[in-house]
Structure 1
């Protein structure tokens, strides 16, 4: 599934990556279920892999209900 509802709005993989990263990204993969609960509100979490720059690939996690998000970037 490529588009998902996040915080009441339908988002594309690129838009979800932008919400997590805070700025535009070069490319994003499909949105998938993360099989985990949000630590803030207990809502469902989705994940998306994306490239914030030409030399990096990041997996970002975002709650579908609240503002919580995180990445696996170090």
Structure 2
């Protein structure tokens, strides 16, 4: 089982400061159709990001504009 911080690091591609609990989403992966989970995290002191990661493949994205 992956921890929230580790999931955030997988989405971000580097270390993060803090992460909230992992949550299920009502989304499906656009690449493979698998289930997508989300995690809120702080990559820096002044930024909060929600990251989304497929449980079945390497696809991920964030809510950054």
Band the TM-score falls in, shorter-chain normalisation = over 0.9
* Mapping 1:38-53, distance limit 5 Å: 38-53=29-44
TM-score normalized by structure 2?
A: 0.98
- In structure 2, runs of 5+ residues without a counterpart are none
TM-score (norm 1): 0.86
Matched residue count: 65
Distance in 1 separating the partners of 2:11 and 2:46: 18
The answer to whether 1:31 aligns with 2:25 is no
Structure 1, unpaired ranges of 5+: 1-9
